[in-house]
Amino acid sequence: MVEGAPAHAGAGEQGALFPDASVPDELVGYRGPAACQIAGITYRQLDYWARTDLVAPTIRSAHGSGSQRLYSFKDLLVLKVVKRLLDTGVSLQNIRVAVDHLRRRGVADLAKITLFSDGTTVYECTSPEEVVDLLQGGQGVFGIAVSGAMREISGTIHEFQAERADGLELEPQVEDDLSQRRRARRTG
């Protein structure tokens, strides 16, 4: 169960958080294999979570054999958070409650929260004071800064092929210096 009051973001807040268009728009998504690599999960986990509606793709779901799911940036972020919660021993049942809570938030709101857990309950903290209060109560054991996961995904997402749900061509991305160095390091 996630403790803390939900705050809702307006539709345009994603742009305010990422003014340089480093996050794709709502029609741009990533197929399953890319989503797995970005989130650090197996395809089996991704498929199970999609079939059980833990983290279903919001851009395009699979419709029979051969169709491809498309995961949005927010979907990738939630996948990454789920993976981190699993790695720390939180039960899938409690993760489902936390994910339901995260789904109600806009991307800008997600950047402002840190999730803490004692292994049983997941707590949301949006300010340093809430973190201190939680730790003084002896409940917090570990924390996941959602903004950290967001930065991590933003830094690696450009290495993966994206596609538009409406079938239009994506504008070619200009590779920045960091991406060029990463590519050079991978290729030799």
pLDDT tens-digit readout, 99-109: 887 777 765 67
Question: First-to-last CA distance in the chain?
Answer: 47
With b for 16 or more beta-carbon neighbours within 10 A and e for fewer, the 4-41 pattern comes to eeeeebeeeebeebbeeeebbeebbbbbbebbbebbeb
Q: Which domains does the chain have, with CATH numbers?
A: 25-170+177-187 (1.10.1660.10)
Note the pLDDT of residue 54: 92
Note the pLDDT of residue 74: 86
Note the pLDDT of residue 22: 46
Note the pLDDT of residue 33: 93
% residues pLDDT > 70 (the chain): 71
Across all residues in the chain, what is the average pLDDT? 75
Highest-scoring range by mean pLDDT, 31-35, 100-104, 165-169, 184-188: 31-35
Examine the pLDDT at 30 and tell me if it is beyond 70: yes
The answer to whether the CB of 25 falls within 8 A of the CB of 59 is no
Q: Which amino acid is at 134?
A: L
Q: Residue 65: exposed, middle, or buried by beta-carbon count in 10 A (0-12, 13-18, 19+)?
A: exposed
Averaged pLDDT, 164-187: 66
How far apart are the C-alpha atoms of 83 and 166, rounded to whole Å? Answer: 29
**Does residue 154 sit in helix, strand or coil?**
helix
Contacts of 48 (CB under 8 A, 6+ apart): 54
pLDDT tens-digit readout, 108-144: 677 778 888 777 778 888 888 888 887 787 665 677 7
More confident residue, 114 or 40: 40
Averaged pLDDT, 151-175: 74
How far apart are the C-alpha atoms of 75 and 179, rounded to whole Å? Answer: 23
Q: How confident is the model at residue 13 (pLDDT cuts 50, 70, 90)?
A: very low
